[in-house]
């Protein structure tokens, strides 16, 4: 890989991607969107009475959700179980990105509310 120049070519491709991301503050715009979707999600969860392991500050949030809700929620969504709090609840990790649509966040909140 290193001897035939492939690593150099991959480095060039990676640097081009970063070059485009830093143009016109695109990197920051994408980050703002991911963070605003996480804020919308966390506010919605708080309004449903859901607590958090740590206060939401970025595009990753860690709500504490009951096992009963998680069982039903896992049929609809993919998420990471971060840690078990007790026999009745666990912390899950939810992450938003530049591609997260507001409609998807609202749909998730509706689904968790109906459960």
Listed in sequence order, the DSSP H helices in 48-101 are 67-73
User: How many angstroms separate the CA atoms of 94 and 23, rounded?
Assistant: 29
Task: Note the pTM of the prediction, 2 decimals.
Answer: 0.81
Q: Is the pLDDT of residue 6 over 80?
A: no
What integer is the mean pLDDT of 80-88?
A: 93
Residue closest to 70 by CA, chosen among 42, 46, 89, 95: 89
pLDDT at 19: 82
pLDDT band at 15 (very low <50, low <70, confident <90, very high): confident
Alpha helices (H) along 60-101: 67-73
3-state secondary structure of 29: helix
**Which position has the token pair 């929620």?**
73
Written as six digits, the tokens of 31 are 């980050």
């Amino acid at each position: 890989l290193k001897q035939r120049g492939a690593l150099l070519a991959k480095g060039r491709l990676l640097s081009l991607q970063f070059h485009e991301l830093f143009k016109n503050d695109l990197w920051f715009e994408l980050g703002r969107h991911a963070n605003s979707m996480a804020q919308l999600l966390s506010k919605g969860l708080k309004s449903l009475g859901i607590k958090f392991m740590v206060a939401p500050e970025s595009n990753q949030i860690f709500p504490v959700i009951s096992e009963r809700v998680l069982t039903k929620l896992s049929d609809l969504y993919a998420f990471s179980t971060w840690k078990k709090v007790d026999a009745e609840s666990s912390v899950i990790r939810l992450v938003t990105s530049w591609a997260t649509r507001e409609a998807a966040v609202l749909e998730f909140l509706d689904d968790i509310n109906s459960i």
